[in-house]
Amino acid sequence: MSGLDLLVVGTGPAGEKGAVQAAYFGKKVAIVERHPVLGGARITSCALPSKNLRETAVALAGLRRREAPSVRAEVRPGATLADLMCRQEPLVAGEVARVRANLTRHGIEIIPGDARFEDPHTLRVDGPGGVRRLRAPVILLAPGSSPYRPEGIPFDDPDIHDSDEILAVERIPASLTIIGGGVIGSEFATMLGPLGVRVTLLERGDRLLPFADAELSRVLADSLPRVGVTARFGVRAVEVGRGDGGVVTRLDDGGSVASEQVLVCAGRVGNTADLALDAAGLTADARGRLAVNAHYQTAVPHIYAAGDVIGFPALASTSMEQARVAMCHAFDLKYKTRLSPILPLGIYTIPELAMVGKTEEATAAEALDVVVGRARFQDNARGQIAGGSDGMIKLLFTRADRRLIGAHIVGERATELIHIASTAMALGATLETFIDAVYNFPTLSELYKYAAYDALGKLGS
């Protein structure tokens, strides 16, 4: 293929949106995908499959809170995770079709195969039709990521899994040890607990999700027993192997945990090992990640990177915007020049956790004078109906001008509710914005008003 303006590697969120952004402005684009399914890990192993399973777990957890003599919620013996991932095949097929249609509509050629650099402007693609060599003045790397597998753990054991494999297990285990209390470990722990799995979550730190607001992290940790999860903090797994009682995880404090299966959640590694980066003049770090500047340029200026391959936050939402910004810079489009500084994060635990802006710990470290307002789901009619006793909205306002600078939510629909705060912050909202607003009753959204009232009371006004 000649005359290309852009070559993209990967059809995940960053690759798809970056390719389309350039094509929308008339650029000739080709995109390479090594997997038979378009859309990246969000479709095949992460976002869609796990969130689909989560909906079943949420339904079961909710029904169990409401159990009456004539109503029961249970998982039948011998059930598989596939049984509980309702509508998985049409869901995946629909999203794959959407990605393909979007790329095709914008005239982007989809090239199946494995890509590797031959020089900074040339990719060799080994695919079903043979070898193709493609050149372009601009290249966008969006190859995604895979679970990181620490050395010494026997992943060839059928009962020891990484986070991509766990959803394919043939049956739901009676017990599971999860190593790692980060995003993926916390999400799987709270999904599988409500399904009747006895989950032990091991975290070497002193809390879940260390980047989150500490108070909400504690609320989430305190809720774990209610969804069937036992958490142990300050312990590190030093060995995993077969032993009495199944798979035994030995800990650095001398203790051990035996379970039917083990899930290792040790983060992810960028899919760069097979790209022959050295031929392009690039080097990835130990986790396969590429360093980029504010425009998402790598050390080789015409090669851009976006999404999981550049590290935190590695979310579909931010990955899409990173790639759009990158391509606007690459082709001097004067359209989208920067990533929004206001980035909402959503964690799909049970209950959900979401945040935007500064945490209370960050404001203390920066010596910012803030006032904090809180409103709890248990004091809200909709929260009571939903059985969300663990939920809370926490808002941080600057004391001087009452401007919202942080919002943190734990509870069902937190990942939806957080967008009220992110939009309000983008518009420079103050405490009075929420006091003056009118919210439907009964809704969880009205918790914003009462969190603002709580902060107002602390201001003495």
CATH number of the domain bearing residue 164 = 3.50.50.60
* Token pair belonging to 300: 């080789």
Tell me: do 275 and 141 sit in the same domain.
yes
> 384-419 burial by CB neighbour count: b if 16+ within 10 A, else e?
eebbbbbbbbbbbbbeeebbbbbbbbbbbbbbebbe
What is the pLDDT at residue 41? 63
For residue 72, the model assigns a pLDDT of: 59
Report angle CA 279, 284, 287 to the nearest 5 degrees. Answer: 145
What residues in the chain have per-residue pLDDT under 50? none
Amino acid 46: pLDDT: 56
pLDDT for 169 equals 82
| Number of domains the chain is built from | 3
The pTM (predicted TM-score) of the whole model is 0.89
Q: Which domain holds residue 320?
A: 6-45+86-147+269-330
**Both 382 and 408 in a single domain?**
yes
Residue 301 lies inside a defined structural domain of this protein: yes
3-state secondary structure of 88: helix
Question: Do residues 98 and 213 both lie within one domain?
Answer: no
The whole-angstrom separation of Cα 264 and Cα 148 is 9
pLDDT of residue 194: 86
CA distance 27 to 297: 19
Count CB atoms within 10 A of the CB of residue 109: 15
Question: Among 266, 286, 312, which residue terminates a domain?
Answer: 266
Same domain, 273 and 255: no
Closest CA to 395 of 342, 344, 431, 436: 431
Residue 91 CB contacts under 8 Å (≥ 6 apart), including other chains: 48, 52
CA angle 92, 97, 103 (to 5 degrees): 130
Q: Contact, 178 vs 202, CB < 8 A?
A: yes
Together in a domain, 185 and 261: yes
> What residues have CB less than 8 Å from 424, skipping those under 6 apart?
404, 433, 434
Residue 244 has what pLDDT?
Answer: 83
Question: Are 310 and 256 within one domain?
Answer: no
Helix (H, G, I), strand (E, B) or coil at 150: coil
Same domain, 136 and 170: no
Q: In this structure, are 20 and 143 located in the same domain?
A: yes
Last residue of a domain, one of 266, 295, 312: 266
Question: Quick one: 22 and 112 in the same domain?
Answer: yes
> Is 64 among the domain residues?
no
